[in-house]
C-alpha cells in the first residue's frame, strides 16, 4: 500500500500541474489516493482529500453526477472508519437514495453504497434495518466478492448471532457461487 500511495501522490502532483486541480482525472486520482490512505488508517488526510474532491465535483458536475456520488460514498466510508457513524449514516442514506434514482436500483454502485449503509447501521445498532438493507444490496447487484466476504466482515460482527444474518450470509454465498455443472 505504501508503494501505491507514493505512486498516486506522484501522479496527483503531475496531474495538478499539467491538467489542473479540478480536471476530472485529477479529482479521480484524489479519490483513489484517499481510498489508499483509508486502507492505511490515515483517515484525517483521506477525509481532507475526499472533501476537496466532493466540493469540486459538486460544483463542476453537480450533486447527483455518478462520480460525485461515488466520491461522497468514499467520504462516508472514511467517516465510518473515524467512528463518526451519524455523519456517515446521513451521507450514505443520501448517496443510496441518489444512486438508486440516478443509476437505477440494480446498478452495482447503488448496491455497494447500500452495503456501506448497512455497515454504518450496524455500528449505530440498527440491526433490523441493517439486515434489510443488506438483503436489498444482495438482491440488487452486490458484487460476488462482497457477498462471499460478508460473513467475515468485522464491521458486521454484531449481526453474526442473529439467525436472520446467518440466513442472509447463506443466501449471499449461494448467489455468489455459480452452480456446478455435471
The 10s digit of each residue's pLDDT in 79-129 is 999 999 999 999 999 999 999 999 998 999 999 999 999 999 999 999 999
Which stretches of the chain are DSSP H helices? 2-18, 24-39, 43-61, 66-81, 85-102, 108-123, 127-139, 144-149, 163-176
Q: Which pLDDT tens digit goes with each residue over 25-41?
A: 999 999 999 999 999 99
Supply the DSSP symbol for 180.
P
CA torsion sign for 43, 48, 52, 58 is: positive
According to the model, what pLDDT value does residue 177 have? 81
Residue 129, CA atoms < 13 Å, CB-side half-sphere: 14
**pTM across the whole model:** 0.91
According to the model, what pLDDT value does residue 182 have? 64
Amino acid at each position: 500500500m505504501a508503494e501505491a500511495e507514493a505512486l498516486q501522490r506522484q501522479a496527483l502532483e503531475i496531474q495538478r500541474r499539467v491538467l489542473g486541480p479540478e480536471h476530472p482525472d485529477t479529482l479521480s486520482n484524489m479519490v483513489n489516493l484517499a481510498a489508499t490512505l483509508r486502507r492505511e488508517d490515515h483517515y484525517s488526510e483521506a477525509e481532507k482529500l475526499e472533501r476537496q474532491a466532493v466540493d469540486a465535483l459538486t460544483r463542476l458536475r453537480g450533486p447527483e453526477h455518478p462520480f460525485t456520488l461515488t466520491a461522497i460514498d468514499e467520504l462516508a466510508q472514511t467517516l465510518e472508519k473515524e467512528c463518526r457513524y451519524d455523519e456517515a449514516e446521513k451521507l450514505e442514506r443520501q448517496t443510496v437514495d441518489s444512486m438508486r434514482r440516478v443509476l437505477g436500483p440494480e446498478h452495482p454502485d447503488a448496491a455497494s453504497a447500500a452495503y456501506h449503509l448497512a455497515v454504518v447501521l450496524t455500528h449505530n445498532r440498527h440491526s433490523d434495518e441493517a439486515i434489510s438493507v443488506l438483503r436489498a444490496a444482495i438482491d440488487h447487484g452486490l458484487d460476488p466478492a462482497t457477498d462471499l466476504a460478508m460473513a467475515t466482515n468485522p464491521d458486521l460482527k454484531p449481526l453474526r448471532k442473529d439467525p436472520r444474518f446467518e440466513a442472509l450470509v447463506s443466501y449471499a454465498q449461494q448467489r455468489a457461487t455459480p452452480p456446478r455443472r455435471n
